[in-house]
C-alpha cells in the first residue's frame, strides 16, 4: 500500500538530518519525498581537486541545487611524501590512530599498501598542480549553482579528521590514500578565496561563519577591496589579529550591514580598543564577544554606540583592565536601551563600585 506523497513530505520536513537519512532508506517513495530536505540541512565540500569536481557534478541535480540553504567549505593541508618510505613512516598514516599494522607497509607484496600509495601519489600531484585563481573560479561556480543559498561556513577539515565518518567525502578519501590532513585550524587562505569569489554578487547569502582560526593580519588582499554589503550575520569562532588591530578593524568595516556579530578572540586578552569600539553598525541588534580585554569605558561605549538598535549583548570570559563590573552595570542601567545584557564565563577584574587607585 502506497502512502500519499503529501504525508511522506510532511514527515520528512520535520525530521532531523540523521533521521531523515534513515527515512530515505525505507523505500523509493520515502527517498523521493525526503530528497529536497537533505540539502536544506546543509552540504559540505572538502577542499581537494577531486572532491570539488564531484561536488560540482552533484549540483547538476536541480532538486539539490535549488534546495541548498547552507554550504560548508572544509579547508586543510596535507602531508607531502615523495617516496613510499616517507609515506609509510608518516605519523598521520592510517588517520594517525592505528599504528598496529604499520610494519606490513614495508612488504613489497602488500598489494593494499601499494594501491594506497599509488592513490596517494595521484592525489599529491593533483593538489600540487592547483592554481590559486582556478580555486577562486571553482568557488564562484559553486555559489552560482545555488540560487537559494543563505549561509556559507568556512571550516577546517581538522574538526572532523579524527571522526571522518561525519563527512563521507573525507572518510572515503582517507580510506583510499591512508592519510589524514595536517593538524591545522587556520582557514585564512580558504576564507580569502571565498571573499574574492563572493564579491557581493550573491545577494541572498546573509550569513558567513568562520569555524576555524582566522587571522586578519594574514590577508593578502586589503579588506577595502571586498564587497560584503549583503552579509547580515558574521560569526568568527577564533579571531586572530597578530596585534594588527588596524587590519582587523578594516575587515569588520567591510560588513556595513551587520545585524548579528559574534567574535571569539584568539589569544589571551585581545584588546577591544582599536577593533570594535570605534565601529558603528547602523542595524546591529545582537553582539557576542568572547575572550576579550577591555576597560569599563570601552564596553560602555560599545553598547552606547548601538543603544538604539541593540537587543542582546553578551560578554564571555572577559578581562576588565580598568574600572569595575559593578560600576559598569550601574552605568548601563542609565542608557535608553532595551538590550538584554549577559555576562558569563570567567570574568577577571574588580567587582567593586570604585576601583582602588
**Tens of pLDDT, residues 308-330:** 999 999 999 888 888 888 888 88
C-alpha cell at 50: 577531486
pLDDT digits (tens, 9 = 90+) for 235-275: 999 998 777 788 888 899 999 999 999 999 876 445 666 68
pTM of this structure: 0.85
With pLDDT > 90 as the criterion, what percentage of the chain qualifies?
36
Q: Which residues have CB under 8 Å from 175's CB, separation 6+?
A: none
The whole-angstrom separation of Cα 265 and Cα 114 is 45
Average pLDDT over residues 147-156: 94
Residue 294 has pLDDT above 80, yes or no: yes
The whole-angstrom separation of Cα 119 and Cα 45 is 20
Q: How far is CA 313 from the centre of its chain?
A: 22
The DSSP 8-state label assigned to residue 78 in this structure reads: -
Query: Which helix H or strand E contains 239, and what residues bound it?
Result: strand 233-240
Q: Cβ(259)–Cβ(236) under 8 Å?
A: no
CB count within 10 Å of CB 331 equals 16
pLDDT digits (tens, 9 = 90+) for 46-72: 999 999 999 999 899 888 888 899 999
Average pLDDT over residues 7-32: 70
Average pLDDT over residues 89-110: 60
Residue 38 has pLDDT above 70, yes or no: no
The whole-number pLDDT of residue 72 equals 92
Q: Which residues have CB under 8 Å from 184's CB, separation 6+?
A: 76, 77, 156, 158
pLDDT digits (tens, 9 = 90+) for 100-114: 455 555 544 478 888
Amino acid at each position: 500500500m502506497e502512502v500519499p506523497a503529501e504525508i511522506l513530505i510532511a514527515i520528512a520536513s520535520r525530521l532531523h538530518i540523521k533521521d531523515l537519512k534513515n527515512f530515505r532508506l525505507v523505500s523509493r517513495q520515502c527517498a523521493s519525498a525526503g530528497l529536497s530536505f537533505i540539502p536544506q540541512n546543509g552540504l559540505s565540500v572538502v577542499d581537494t581537486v577531486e572532491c570539488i569536481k564531484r561536488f560540482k557534478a552533484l549540483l547538476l541535480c536541480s532538486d539539490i541545487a535549488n534546495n541548498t540553504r547552507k554550504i560548508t567549505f572544509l579547508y586543510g593541508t596535507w602531508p607531502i611524501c615523495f617516496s613510499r618510505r616517507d609515506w609509510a613512516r608518516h605519523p598521520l598514516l592510517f588517520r594517525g590512530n592505528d599504528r598496529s599494522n604499520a610494519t606490513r607497509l614495508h612488504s613489497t607484496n602488500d598489494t593494499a599498501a601499494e594501491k594506497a600509495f599509488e592513490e596517494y601519489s595521484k592525489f599529491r600531484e593533483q593538489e600540487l598542480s592547483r592554481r590559486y585563481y582556478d580555486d577562486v573560479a571553482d568557488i564562484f561556480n559553486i555559489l552560482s549553482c545555488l540560487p537559494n543559498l543563505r549561509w556559507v561556513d568556512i571550516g577546517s577539515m581538522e574538526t572532523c579528521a579524527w571522526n571522518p565518518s561525519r563527512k563521507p567525502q573525507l572518510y572515503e578519501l582517507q580510506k583510499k590514500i591512508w592519510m589524514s590532513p595536517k593538524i591545522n585550524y587556520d582557514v585564512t587562505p580558504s576564507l580569502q578565496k571565498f571573499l574574492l569569489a563572493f564579491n557581493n554578487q550573491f545577494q541572498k547569502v546573509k550569513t558567513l561563519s568562520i569555524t576555524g582560526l582566522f587571522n586578519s593580519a594574514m590577508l593578502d588582499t586589503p579588506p577595502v577591496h571586498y564587497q560584503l554589503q549583503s552579509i547580515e550575520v558574521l560569526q568568527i569562532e577564533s579571531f586572530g589579529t597578530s596585534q594588527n588591530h588596524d587590519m582587523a578593524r578594516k575587515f569588520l568595516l567591510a560588513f556595513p550591514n551587520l545585524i548579528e556579530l559574534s567574535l571569539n578572540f584568539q589569544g589571551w586578552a585581545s584588546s577591544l580598543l582599536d577593533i570594535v569600539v570605534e565601529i558603528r553598525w547602523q542595524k546591529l541588534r545582537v553582539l557576542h564577544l568572547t575572550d576579550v580585554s577591555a576597560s569599563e569605558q570601552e564596553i560602555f561605549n560599545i553598547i552606547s554606540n548601538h543603544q538604539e538598535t541593540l537587543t542582546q549583548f553578551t560578554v564571555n570570559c572577559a578581562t576588565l583592565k580598568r574600572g569595575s563590573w559593578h560600576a559598569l552595570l550601574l552605568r548601563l542601567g542609565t542608557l535608553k536601551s532595551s538590550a538584554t545584557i549577559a555576562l558569563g564565563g570567567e570574568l577577571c577584574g574588580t567587582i567593586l563600585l570604585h576601583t582602588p587607585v
